[in-house]
A and B are shown apart, each in its own frame.
Chain A
């Protein structure tokens, strides 16, 4: 039955469903238990499942993430919450050298059913050390899957799929999405965890976003439609692997692509997507693939500067107009 849920509630339901179904699922992280989670995602689970399965940890990111790796090696299904992606830097050894490598370097002997949930992105004036995205850092690691849900329904589906997966999955949750609302049907059959979703069909250009920017490209598409520009809005849903087929089919139809990422432009997700689309769709492109991205700048504390350092819907609309030459038309 479809319900309207907040993004954090959808994640909470997903955890509850998996923990009820499988005793090998357990949660650990800072303040996930008694406190209920920094973004309420684990609310109520400590009371329901007890402290052994909803474990409050000391502030020791590398070791409690590595604890998850060790438990996954012997078939448990740990869900590690790292309070924010900024602290995931301290756990990179466990994620990159551990979770991503062990199944491979053991010659395929071990499962790694580990989920690492990481809130991230630019929230509201949290300043440079608490306002990063860093998704390209994880995209670059073979052996890791990176899922980026933008809606409560995807948050629900993708977290459940991540827990069920025997591969390590980093689930990047955007901090401003936790209190967004949307329909969640827990009974509906989910698409594959890495399948991109076409949120709006169009013929004039392809707008590609993920996580928060997936919502922004939909808003931009609505704006563009008022000017008679039919944009196709795609929500990537996964950054590793990437559903290239959906992107290629779209670009072969629209002949133009614009990627929107909140992460820094330099060597970001957009660079990988633009390069791959240029390689695969060169002859059907009418213009170079474009990017609207965060500035290559540590996030300023000042609110106006912070807002100016990441893509806004108006930026996307302007870039889309420029890409299809609409600006010239409007001026004529």
Chain B
């Protein structure tokens, strides 16, 4: 892999981590309200998958999508401002944490209903097929969304009509508070794709290089052979389901075990994150999947000084995003009506 791409992956993961931890702080301060589902622990999936996609590919995401948007290239300002509900946010303050859209970047939305991304993704895939374009659609979902009916309905249609969709399961082992062995008769998610003859692979989602490579490979196969592909990334969220959930149902030993394979790096660990803290990680010993920085350092692609600079850069970017959001205007009720009627094209209604 190119050195440049490794740096990009590292930067995206760091930015995602710092952004989310700051979002948690802003939530505690009351600047962000509502449901807030954070991503720490899962960064390798967003960074690896989305960097493997091209600008013409579509991304359909869930309600845990801030990092997906950031990796896709949406400015941190626009993502943070949406969390703050401001007019300058990605969705003009109408969507919030769970409903981020960026048409220009083909970021086709965050969806708040579990299992809703599949039909949207196959619909975009159907349009791509009708237009015979070399584009693909990346459909994110969690392990908790696999038992939904739409999973089976949509995988069936995707396979039947050979739609160019990459199904990406972010398996963090929990449907909110219910562990996967308690919500799925077949806890190996990738095996379920076999029911629809969709090639599927299970990949270590804590290793960004593996995530990137697997995604590149799957997208290549979609473009060459047509038809859907399926990737299951085993990962973990260090936080609860949302800010309303402390995640107390998870055994501490489990949290710690996954923190030990933090997808972030040796260098990144020096940053003071709440989940996990540097001390906690030091206790666990050298992590076996702080792979990216270790790999980069040992390959001579990265130096300690660069890590410090990178850390400063992303912290500054997130700070700027917060200040921008605080200074941004609130949307007006006129804005709300305008957005609702954005497709009415100034039609005059006979409403009196």
A residues sitting closer than 8 Å to B (CB atoms) are 26, 52-53, 55, 57-58, 60, 62-76, 78, 93-94, 97-98, 102-113, 142-143, 165-167, 192, 194-196, 241-246, 248, 280
Contact (A73, B123) CB under 8 Å given A166-B345, A194-B350: yes
Give the chain A neighbours of B339 by CB distance below 8 A.
103-104, 106-108
Contact of A64 among B93, B111, B157 (CB under 8 A): B157
State which of B39-47, B124-132, B279-287 sits at the interface with chain A: B124-132
Of chain B, the residue at the smallest CB distance from A246 is B350
Pick the interface stretch among B114-122, B170-178, B187-195, B213-221.
Answer: B114-122
Closest to B350 in A: A243
Check A68 against B343 for contact (C-beta < 8 Å).
Answer: no
How far in angstroms is the closest Cβ of chain A from B148? 9
Q: Do A58 and B351 touch across chains, with their CB atoms under 8 A apart?
A: no
Q: Which of B101, B125, B350 contacts A107 (CB 8 A)?
A: B101
Q: Which residues of A have CB within 8 Å of B345?
A: 166
- Top 9 closest pairs, chain A to chain B, by CB: A70-B123, A66-B119, A107-B92, A108-B342, A63-B153, A60-B153, A106-B101, A166-B343, A108-B339
Kindly state whether residue B32 has any CB partner on chain A within 8 Å. no
Contact flag A67-B157 (CB < 8 Å), given A73-B124, A74-B127, A105-B94 = yes
Given contacts A98-B120, A106-B103, A245-B352, 5 further A-B contacts (CB under 8 A): A26-B130, A58-B153, A93-B113, A107-B94, A107-B339
Question: CB distance B351 to A70 under 8 Å?
Answer: no
Give the complex CA separation of A243 and B342 in angstroms: 20
A58 near B160 with CB under 8 A, answer yes
Tell whether, in the assembled complex, residue A70 and residue B122 are in contact, meaning their CB atoms are under 8 Å apart.
Answer: yes
Q: Is the CB of A107 within 8 A of B89?
A: yes
B351 touches A243 (CB 8 A): yes
Q: Which residues does chain B contribute within 8 Å of A194, judged by CB atoms?
A: 349-350
Task: Please determine whether B116 and A93 come into contact, CB atoms closer than 8 angstroms.
Answer: yes
Is A71 in contact with B350, judged by CB distance below 8 angstroms? no
Contact with A along B134-178 (1 / 0, CB 8 A): 000000000000000110011011001100000000000000000
- Say how far A88's CB is from chain B's closest CB, in angstroms: 15
Q: Does B109 contact A (CB under 8 A)?
A: yes
Q: List 26 A-B contacts (CB under 8 A).
A: A60-B153, A60-B156, A60-B157, A62-B153, A64-B119, A66-B118, A67-B157, A70-B60, A70-B121, A70-B124, A93-B150, A102-B101, A104-B340, A105-B91, A106-B91, A106-B103, A106-B109, A108-B339, A108-B342, A109-B342, A111-B343, A143-B340, A192-B347, A194-B349, A194-B350, A246-B350
Closest to A192 in B: B350
- B-chain residues with CB within 8 Å of residue A76 when the two chains form the complex: 126-127, 130
Option from A63, A78, A110, A192 in Cβ contact (under 8 Å) with B150:
A63
Select B124's contact among A74, A112, A244, beta carbons within 8 Å. A74
Cα distance, A195 to B58, chains bound together (Å): 38
Q: How far is the CA of A62 from the CA of B122 in the complex (A)?
A: 12
Residues of B within 8 A of A248 (CB): 352
Residue of B nearest to A59 (CB): B153
Q: B69 at the A/B interface (Cβ < 8 Å)?
A: no
Question: Which residues of the partner chain B approach A71 to less than 8 Å between Cβ atoms?
Answer: 123-124, 126-127
Bound together, the chains give a CA A167 to CA B349 distance in angstroms of: 14
CB atoms of A63 and B350 under 8 A apart = no
Cα distance A109–B347 in the bound complex, in angstroms: 18
C-alpha spacing A65/B153, complex, angstroms: 11
Contact for B119 among A26, A62, A110, CB less than 8 A? A62
Q: B106 — nearest CB in chain A belongs to which residue?
A: A74
Nearest A residue to B129 by beta-carbon distance? A52
Q: B120–A70 contact, CB under 8 A? A: yes
